[in-house]
């Protein structure tokens, strides 16, 4: 318990959020009876992931993996950049890291992986509360009765409670701001619309942990939040779809996304498609168990689970050095 408390305390500091320790992702181990399943690999698949992947991993992929292989699964999540920082500082020791984009992979110091495989994309949507005083107007936009342009005017209203994740520690937080910049251009919104909607990039009144933001929306504490499409589907939330040209989820529109950028933490972040990458973490325990987990996730069964949960499956993309990918994983993506 001391280790887990330390993990959440550190993650809370990184995300500049005071409530993370009480609302974060819960680590789970499958309860499958392993006495009836062959288990040629010892150890545990210890998976760190971007917080938006909590439900699909902990409720579906993890238990299915243990049932098939007999290998225990444990999961923990948070803003992908914050998780990468924890791994780099040896505060957590997962053998698998599942990231949104490749930027977090490049910030893992001595733990930087030599390879990663992209397999899915996840467009942004605007999820909203059916109990919000703005719900009827949001519903009209969602149904196409009112133009999408109205959404951005609505989010400017002083009484509108918007939630988003921290762009300093989470790729979704960055993607949401870049989406607003694209929308300002596409819908010819007045100059300064982005600032009117968000205030500052790190406006504390709007920032919430990725693993808790939708729970706050469901509790009626927020009118609307940024979300990935699969999250909105999995949590049975009403949402407004965004066109591919601004939702950051279509790899074929990467040139459009690259037309906007933001500066934060002394770095320039350019727009790019939201893609999910997975890799092993060098030097951490139970490498074979981690490799087995990745092979399962990238198998037909694993990909089917992701597709069923609302993710758009893309052709496998290799980041880094192809020759460093373990043979068992490489054969899976070749197949």
What is the reported pLDDT for 38? Answer: 42
Low-confidence residues in the chain, pLDDT < 70? 1-41
User: Are the C-beta atoms of residues 71 and 292 closer than 8 Å to each other?
Assistant: yes
Give residue-wise pLDDT tens across range 150-159.
999 999 999 9
- What are the residue ranges spanned by the domains of the chain? 2-119+276-334, 124-270
Q: Which CATH number applies to 2-119+276-334?
A: 3.40.190.10
User: pLDDT tens, 226-245?
Assistant: 999 999 999 999 999 999 99
Please determine, looking at this structure, whether the domain spanning 124-270 carries the CATH number 3.40.190.10.
yes
Decide: pTM greater than 0.85: no
User: How distant, in Å, are the alpha carbons of 78, 277, 282 from that of 211?
Assistant: 7, 19, 26
Name the residue among 186, 196, 188 with its Cα closest to residue 259.
Answer: 186
- Length reported for the chain: 335
Check residue 317 and give its pLDDT: 94
Same fold, 2-119+276-334 and 124-270: yes
Cα first-last separation, the chain: 41
């Amino acid at each position: 318990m001391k280790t887990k408390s330390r993990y959440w305390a550190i993650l809370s500091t990184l995300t500049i959020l005071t409530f993370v320790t009480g609302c974060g992702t819960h680590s789970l181990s499958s309860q499958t009876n392993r006495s009836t399943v062959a288990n040629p690999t010892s150890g545990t698949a210890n998976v760190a992931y971007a917080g938006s992947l909590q439900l699909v991993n902990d409720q579906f992929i993890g238990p299915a993996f243990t049932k098939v292989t007999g290998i225990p699964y444990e999961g923990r999540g948070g803003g992908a950049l914050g998780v990468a920082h924890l791994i780099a500082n040896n505060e957590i020791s997962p053998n698998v890291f599942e990231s949104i984009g490749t930027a977090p992979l490049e910030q893992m110091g001595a733990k930087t992986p030599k390879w990663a495989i992209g397999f899915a994309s996840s467009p942004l949507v605007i999820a909203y509360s059916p109990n919000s005083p703005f719900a009827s107007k949001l519903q009209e936009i969602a149904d196409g009765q009112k133009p999408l342009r109205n959404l951005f005017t609505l989010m400017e209203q002083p009484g509108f409670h918007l939630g988003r994740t921290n762009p300093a520690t989470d790729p979704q937080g960055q993607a949401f701001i870049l989406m607003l910049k694209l929308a300002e251009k596409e819908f010819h919104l007045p100059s300064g619309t982005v600032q009117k909607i968000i205030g500052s990039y790190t406006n504390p009144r709007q920032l919430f942990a990725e693993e808790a933001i939708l729970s706050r929306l469901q509790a009626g504490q927020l009118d609307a939040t940024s979300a990935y499409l699969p999250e909105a589907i999995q949590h049975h939330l009403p949402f407004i779809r965004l066109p591919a040209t601004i939702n950051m989820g279509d790899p074929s529109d990467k040139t459009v996304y690259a037309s906007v950028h933001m500066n934060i933490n002394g770095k320039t972040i350019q727009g790019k498609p939201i893609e999910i990458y997975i890799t092993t973490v060098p030097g951490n325990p139970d490498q074979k168990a981690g490799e087995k987990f990745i092979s399962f996730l990238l198998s037909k069964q694993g990909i089917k689970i992701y597709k069923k949960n609302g993710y758009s499956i893309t052709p496998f993309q290799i980041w880094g050095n192809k020759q460093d990918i373990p043979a068992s994983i490489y054969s899976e993506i070749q197949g």
